[in-house]
Amino acid sequence: MRQSGQRTRHLFDLRGVSFGSPAAIVTSMALIVGLDAATATKAAVVGGLLIIGVADNLTDSLSVHIYQESERLAERQAFKTTVSSYVARLIVSASFAFLFLLLPRSIAI
């Protein structure tokens, strides 16, 4: 039984996923709609999604890490949250790119 104030240990940190996934969804959707409005090619949209999936997600995850360190969160916990946030965002961005490649442009938008 768990006593009050005691935390359970999880293999996967949900804080990183809960921050990372919605941010990646909004960013990916905004990129798709914006590039479509600019009449970008399908390759340009997929390329943009992959760049966002790596570069933008890396900067956001590192920002979360720096914040957690400033709050004096345990180093290992801060690292786990940073990695889980990055992986969640990368998976979401990659799934948008994958769907955009598979679907006809009009449906993907």
8 vs 105, higher pLDDT: 105
Residue of 19 and 106 predicted with greater confidence: 106
pLDDT at residue number 33: 82
Average pLDDT value for the chain: 76
Of 34, 32, 38, nearest in space to 95 by CA: 32
pLDDT in tens, 32-74: 888 778 777 888 888 888 888 888 888 887 887 788 878 787 7
Joined together, the tokens standing for residue 104 give 């006809």
Q: What is the pLDDT of residue 58?
A: 83
- On whether the pTM is more than 0.75, the answer is no
Structure tokens of 59? 């900067």
Q: How far apart are CA 95 and CA 74, in angstroms?
A: 32
CA separation for the pair 75, 29 (Å, rounded): 33
Q: What distance lies between CA 16 and its chain's CA centroid? A: 9
